[in-house]
Structure 1
Amino acid sequence: MHKLLTEGEAAPHVGVAPKTLANWRGLGRGPKFIKAGKRIAYDPADIETWKAERRVGSTSERVAA
């Protein structure tokens, strides 16, 4: 089992600011996250899956929302 990441730790892996991750959560975008009470955590495997789903070969390809 690997360590879960805080919002601040996850943001650089996604390439955005922590505030952007927070905004994306409210919009239903971004990588999946785990909520335990008021705490938010990200599984590194979910971040990698999210990034892989957005990998494209050309600018004409559509990316998942």
Structure 2
Amino acid sequence: MDAQSTECAQSNRPIEIDRSGPVLTTKQAAEYVGLKPQTLRRFKCEGIGPDSFKQGRLNVYYPADLDLWLQKRLVAA
């Protein structure tokens, strides 16, 4: 697969995201980001979750999209 571009909210420059490799199910993605699967599903419905894609009937996530979403959510303490 080719790398996809996403606009960076801070700089308006496209960020290259490598969406190659394996995809994660909702359960696996939730574990990856430290949330419960139901919370990740709710975030998706509310439009505040990471980018997801359909693979048949499943919602799947690329680790690169999860990493980018986590970067946007983290704030300095």
Give me the TM-score of the superposition, normalised by structure 2.
0.67
- Aligned position for 1:38: 57
What do residues 28-51 of structure 1 show as CA deviations (whole Å, max 9, x unaligned)? 111110123421100000000001
**What is the percentage of aligned positions where both structures have the same residue?**
36
- Point out where structure 1 has 5 or more consecutive residues left out of the alignment: 59-65
The 4+ residue runs of structure 1 with deviation greater than 2 A are: none
CA RMSD of aligned residues (A): 1.3
Q: How many residues align?
A: 58
Structure 2 runs not aligned, ≥5 long: 1-19
Instruction: Tell which has more relative contact order, 1 or 2 (C-alpha 8 A, sep 6+).
Output: 1
**Which SS does the other structure have where 2:54 is aligned?**
strand
Which has a greater percent of strand? Answer: 2
Structure with more helix by fraction: 1
TM-score, normalised to structure 1's length?
0.77
Give the secondary-structure state (helix, strand or coil) at the position aligned to 1:2: coil
